[in-house]
A and B are shown apart, each in its own frame.
Chain A
Amino acid sequence: MSDDYRSMWADLGLDLAAHDMLLGVLGEAYGKMYLTQANRPAGMSYFDFVMSEVHGLRIKELIDEKKAGRKIIGSYCVFVPEEIVLAANATLVGLCSGADFAMEEVERLLPRNTCALIKSAFGFKLGKVCPYLESADMIVGENTCDGKKKAYESLAQLVDNLYVMDLPQVKSDKGRDLLKAEYQRFQKAVEELTGSPITVASLQQAIRTVNAKRAAIHRLSTLRKADPAPISGMDALLVNQVFFYDNPARFTDAVNKICDELEQRMKAKSGVFPTKNPRVIVAGCPQAVPNWKLPMLVETAGAVIVGEESCVGERGTRNLTDEAGNSVDELLDNIVDRYFQIDCAIFTPNRDRLHHILEMIEKYQADGVIHYGLQFCQPYLMEALPIEKVLAEKGVPCLRIETDYSMEDIGQLKTRIEAFVEQLS
């Protein structure tokens, strides 16, 4: 890392020693888990570069944007509409929540029995190691699960720029009205922050930009239907993770480039795993960078992940936003329609999610499903049981995992996952 970055991190108020340690661990984990994969698509080198510069060059870009008068907005959830952020001349970034950090300090503010993702978000703040969080002009929290909802009350004591968005929990007309009202309130807040009122043209352009990014991911997902799998689940997850950090247009190009390459692979019938290899869908909680624990175990056990039914995956990227509309209000309605379809487990009932899992099994010719639940994440852990039951009735093997970011259960997880892969073989 260059000295420029060090002074940049220091200016952001990062704890340089702790941050060095984090980058050291991250780099080592990435090297071991990612760079050792066989026959990776050449296009992944872009994502390797992005990861190597995830706290470096990308942060510098954000700082440069800030210097040019643009605002940075950080979010923890796929319900925060990037279209609105872009249309008001701001940049949206996902905030760090995929690794344990400063746990002792975190447990002074949150109960031990809080999910790893929430604890991690606090750990990155308290440990002063997330440059995204520190560069953000606005941090958006959202009332999804009870854990996050209450945690934001405490996070508000640690930062002075937290904005909390309310979210419906039922897919009713009233629920939709609430989402629309909240997106309108968010629009005003963002406009106030940036001083750039959203226009029909700017919102339409933003919708196009975000749609292009999603369409590229859809293209990548479609290619994963192929047997042999042209890309590993590890790499596809990484692409889905970088979705939250990168410049949207550049990201779209990089994903499309990799898709061109994968199409060539498919023509040549080449892939990263042999044909007829066990194929798995991972469903459940989001896996934020650098939470690669489960996919690493699955793919080293010999199965290939062909789809993520997750916020970092299809739940987050499914459906495009309709670009047609003559007023900001009409376009906002299109945005609401798109986001209101997200099948997050905070909704009750949440039948769409089961349908989507079944659809994905069919579409990607999966042999089994691994339900990934973060410990103490009630919404997803509770949904896992009826999902497992329906899958059993349909004869689809399902392995229900409940874990966190620690490595203490790795031995048992390895045995369970390997046995599951044996079961699919």
Chain B
Amino acid sequence: MLSAGIDIGSRTIECVVIEDGAIREIRQAPTTFDPRGQIENVLAGVSFDRIMATGYGRNLFEVAYDAKTVTEIKAYGRGARHLFPEATTILDIGGQDSKCIILGPGGKVQRFEMNDRCAAGTGKFLEVMAEALNFSLEEFGPSALKAGKVLTINAMCTVFAESEVTSLISRGENREDIALGLHLAVVKRAAGMIRRLWPGGPIFFAGGVARNSCIQHLLEKDLQVPVIVPDNPQMVGALGAALLLEEGA
């Protein structure tokens, strides 16, 4: 039997189809302003027998497709355990949310923390900042790693940080250095969240921001433990939902 998981995030939609725990298909599309249409695009031609939705758009899907839902917290926990059986601490930074999830014995979610309203320190923050410095999202992390000096960015609010960036630019600071400062600000916040819950041990890092090599590097430097990023960090939630569905959870 084919079980599918669909993760409808603020920026991207992923769908993973599994059979007996083995991945059969992975699809991805940007969420855009039309999540319903994009869900249809993602699912077009994908065969599955049942489907479970996660991500902030899960309820939209639940109504339209009469499907089961699960929060991204439980789904990311499950997906992470599958890809990295020793995972206990999971960091997920997506488009508008950041979460730290601690798994207990058997992989059950023991504790979690999540930003409560604004998108400070999330993918959206990095996206806006990359644009302010005229970097593409792909080159933003690697460029920050080329910085020559450490600048401190104080603001974590996207709006305030952007004006701080503007004043750094006008002060004549190099854009790679500013980029590093912004990455450090995100890492400081994420590491703080991890430290509040962390039982120690390596960090499993998922979500779109996990693609950013500078964030991964700075997290390892800050926490002094390996930060493991799976091959496709954005599909962990969809995979988790598919696994939970297959396991009848």
Point out the residues of chain B lying under 8 angstroms from A401, CB to CB.
116
Q: Do A419 and B117 form a contact, CB below 8 Å, given A411-B56, A412-B97?
A: no
CB pair B109 A422 closer than 8 Å: yes
Query: B106-126 interface mask toward A, CB cutoff 8 Å, 1 = contact, 0 = none?
Result: 001111101111000000000
B74 within 8 A of A: yes
Smallest Cβ distance from A226 to chain B, in angstroms?
A: 27
CB pair A415 B72 closer than 8 Å: yes
CB pair A408 B117 closer than 8 Å: yes
B166 within 8 A of A: no
Point out the residues of chain B lying under 8 angstroms from A126, CB to CB.
none
Report the Cα distance A402→B115, complex, angstroms.
Answer: 11
Query: A388-425 interface mask toward B, CB cutoff 8 Å, 1 = contact, 0 = none?
Result: 00001000010001110000110111011011001100
Q: Do A423 and B108 form a contact, CB below 8 Å, given A415-B72, A418-B71?
A: yes
CB pair B74 A419 closer than 8 Å: yes
B73 within 8 A of A: yes
CB-nearest residue of chain A to B70? A422
Q: Do A422 and B97 form a contact, CB below 8 Å, given A403-B116, A409-B117, A415-B56?
A: no
Query: B52-65 interface mask toward A, CB cutoff 8 Å, 1 = contact, 0 = none?
Result: 00001000000000
CB pair B115 A422 closer than 8 Å: no
* Interface of A, helix, strand, loop or mixed by DSSP: helix
Point out the residues of chain A lying under 8 angstroms from B71, CB to CB.
415, 418-419, 422
Q: Do A415 and B109 form a contact, CB below 8 Å, given A422-B73, A422-B74?
A: no
Report the Cα distance A155→B45, complex, angstroms.
Answer: 64
Smallest Cβ distance from A16 to chain B, in angstroms?
A: 34
Point out the residues of chain A lying under 8 angstroms from B108, CB to CB.
423
**8 A Cβ contacts from B108-146 to A:** 108-112, 114-117
CB pair B116 A412 closer than 8 Å: yes
B72, B73, B115: which has the most chain A beta carbons within 10 Å? B73
CB-nearest residue of chain B to A423? B109
Q: Do A402 and B73 form a contact, CB below 8 Å, given A412-B97, A422-B109?
A: no
CB pair B73 A419 closer than 8 Å: yes
Report the Cα distance A412→B73, complex, angstroms.
Answer: 12
Point out the residues of chain B lying under 8 angstroms from A422, CB to CB.
70-71, 73-74, 109
Report the Cα distance A412→B94, complex, angstroms.
Answer: 13
Point out the residues of chain A lying under 8 angstroms from B114, CB to CB.
412, 415-416, 419
Report the Cα distance A415→B56, complex, angstroms.
Answer: 7
Instruction: Please give the number of chain B residues whose Cβ is less than 8 angstroms from any Cβ of chain A in the complex.
Output: 16
Smallest Cβ distance from A300 to chain B, in angstroms?
A: 10
Smallest Cβ distance from A425 to chain B, in angstroms?
A: 9
Smallest Cβ distance from A250 to chain B, in angstroms?
A: 40
CB-nearest residue of chain A to B197? A392
CB pair B97 A419 closer than 8 Å: no
**8 A Cβ contacts from A61-113 to B:** none
Q: Do A409 and B112 form a contact, CB below 8 Å, given A419-B71, A422-B71?
A: no
Query: A365-405 interface mask toward B, CB cutoff 8 Å, 1 = contact, 0 = none?
Result: 00000000000000000000000000010000100011100
Report the Cα distance A403→B117, complex, angstroms.
Answer: 9
Report the Cα distance A408→B96, complex, angstroms.
Answer: 13
Report the Cα distance A411→B73, complex, angstroms.
Answer: 14
Report the Cα distance A408→B71, complex, angstroms.
Answer: 19
Q: Do A419 and B109 form a contact, CB below 8 Å, given A411-B56, A412-B97?
A: yes
Point out the residues of chain A lying under 8 angstroms from B73, CB to CB.
415-416, 419, 422
Smallest Cβ distance from A368 to chain B, in angstroms?
A: 11
Point out the residues of chain A lying under 8 angstroms from B74, CB to CB.
419, 422
CB-nearest residue of chain B to A395? B110
Among candidates B70, B109, B116, residue contacting A402 with C-beta atoms closer than 8 Å: B116
Report the Cα distance A17→B73, complex, angstroms.
Answer: 44
Smallest Cβ distance from A125 to chain B, in angstroms?
A: 27
Smallest Cβ distance from A354 to chain B, in angstroms?
A: 20
Report the Cα distance A409→B97, complex, angstroms.
Answer: 12
Report the Cα distance A412→B120, complex, angstroms.
Answer: 13
CB-nearest residue of chain A to B74? A422
CB pair B117 A412 closer than 8 Å: yes
Point out the residues of chain B lying under 8 angstroms from A413, CB to CB.
116
Report the Cα distance A408→B117, complex, angstroms.
Answer: 7
Query: B218-236 interface mask toward A, CB cutoff 8 Å, 1 = contact, 0 = none?
Result: 0000000000000000000
Report the Cα distance A419→B69, complex, angstroms.
Answer: 11
Q: Give B residues with C-beta under 8 Å from A.
A: 56, 70-74, 97, 108-112, 114-117
Taking A419-B71, A423-B108, A423-B110 as given, write out 19 further A-B residue pairs in contact, using a Cβ cutoff of 8 Å, ordered by the A residue number.
Answer: A397-B111, A401-B116, A402-B116, A403-B116, A411-B56, A412-B97, A412-B116, A415-B56, A415-B71, A415-B97, A416-B73, A416-B112, A416-B114, A416-B116, A419-B74, A422-B73, A422-B109, A423-B109, A423-B112
- 4 shortest interchain CB distances as A-B pairs: A419-B73, A409-B117, A419-B71, A418-B71
Return 17 A-B CB contacts under 8 Å, by A number: A392-B111, A397-B111, A403-B116, A408-B117, A409-B116, A412-B97, A412-B115, A415-B56, A415-B71, A415-B73, A415-B97, A416-B73, A416-B112, A422-B70, A423-B108, A423-B110, A423-B112
